[in-house]
Structure 1
Amino acid sequence: MIRGANVALTREIPDLRGVVVGIDWDAGTEVVLQDNLVLAALLCGPDSRVLSHEHVVFFNQLASPEESVAVRDAALHDDQEQIEVDLRDVPPEVARIVLVTYINEGTAQRRTLGQLKRVAVVVREAGSLRELVRSEDFAPVLQSETALVLAEVYRHGGDWKFKVVGEGYRNGIAGVAADYGVPL
């Protein structure tokens, strides 16, 4: 799927109970970059602002308060990191789950997402891990960005949809935090 494209997950698969959203990247020989890439989920209200600091799921906060969104212990298939979403248990005040990747500590060592050879977001069916959707490779358009909004899983009417975003930030997680109201 290309940037801006979306798909109606639960309309296409009515019995879909959950998804696993993963990031598939290739950092080549850039070990510092490989070791410092982070996948995070921001649980946002209808205003696209994170509900609270407890609604940011990443390596330092492994699950949302009600545990409907959680970091998977070990990523499977070709994904380097994965976040699992139990669509049935996501609280009604959560309108969208924004998936972000960023460089945690590599910016001090002059690393950018433009050094990636490949980066894509993948949606799999929870349980079977059957691939449902894969984004385009964002790597060719990345340059000096240190954070990237990959995609959104969001409510639309009574259904859940998935949208490829692909918006880069040169000011890293601080830029994402400012746009989505994440307290740092």
Structure 2
Amino acid sequence: MWIVSPMAKGANIALQRELPDLQGVVFGVDWDTGGERVLDDNLTLLTILVGQNGMALSPDHVVYFNQLVSADLSTAQLQQALGGDDAQVEVELTAVPDDVSRIVFAIYLSEGSGSSRNLGQLKRLVVRLLNLDGGASIISSVDLAEGLSAETALKLAELYRLGGQWKLRVLGVGYSSGLHGLAQEFGVSL
């Protein structure tokens, strides 16, 4: 087991340089809504497989509650998160198509949460990466909830290819335009 924690916003790590046999990962998100049930029920994890042009490869390469597996079967949202996470996505790195340059993980508040809800109400928001083979922790982030205010969507982190190797970067970049802002950035309609 190898751990670098906690990673700050903007920090990155070369995963396969440190773990040469890494074949797959589980990306987990742990949030604390402070007992705010509506907020908890309306937080959704979204994963987007992005091409060289910065856009989603297709609508079938967006993984979320309504589409649990990517078209290429490399990425799947777990219906039952394990180990204390509120949501998890499994990525088989060796199965990700070559035309995918990065995989973006984000959360958003669904439309039904009401206009008075935002991510600034979160008490804690931490992401972590686990080795798919055995579940050992690789990294975790700092608390990404700090500094949030009116945002209704947040890019959490991204896996990206550089020199044929996978790297992870913690992002923590928010949108007050919610899911619409995310969809617009990546060229998909959800």
Q: TM-score range by the shorter chain?
A: over 0.9
Find the counterpart in structure 1 of residue 4 from structure 2: none
Post-superposition offset of 1:73 = 2.2
How far apart in 2 are the matches of 1:170 and 1:181?
18
**1:111 corresponds to which of 112, 117, 128:** 117
Post-superposition offset of 1:111 = 0.8
Find the counterpart in structure 2 of residue 3 from structure 1: 9
How far apart in 2 are the matches of 1:147 and 1:182?
15
How far apart in 2 are the matches of 1:112 and 1:106?
12
Post-superposition offset of 1:76 = 0.8
Is 1:182–2:188 an aligned residue pair? yes
How far apart in 1 are the matches of 2:182 and 2:27?
19
Find the counterpart in structure 2 of residue 97 from structure 1: 103
Q: Residue by residue, what CA displacement relative to the aligned partner does 1:121-146 show, whole Å, maximum 9, x if unpaired?
A: 11110031111111110112100100
How far apart in 1 are the matches of 2:188 and 2:142?
27
Q: Does structure 1 conserve the Cα–Cα contact (< 8 Å) formed by 2:22 and 2:131?
A: yes
Post-superposition offset of 1:107 = 4.1
Is 1:162–2:168 an aligned residue pair? yes
**2:177 corresponds to which of 171, 174, 181:** 171
Change (3 A) 1:151 1:37: same
Structure 1 segments, 4+ long, off by >3 Å, are none
**1:31 corresponds to which of 6, 31, 37:** 37
TM-score by length of 1: 0.97
- Root mean square deviation of aligned Cα: 1.0
Q: How does 1:62-101 map to 2 (within 5 A)?
A: 62-101=68-107
Q: How does 1:128-167 map to 2 (within 5 A)?
A: 128-167=134-173
Is 1:50–2:39 an aligned residue pair? no
Post-superposition offset of 1:105 = 3.0
Q: Residue by residue, what CA displacement relative to the aligned partner does 1:65-119 show, whole Å, maximum 9, x if unpaired?
A: 1210000121111210000000000000111000000001344251100000000
How far apart in 1 are the matches of 2:44 and 2:179?
10
SS across alignment from 1:139: coil
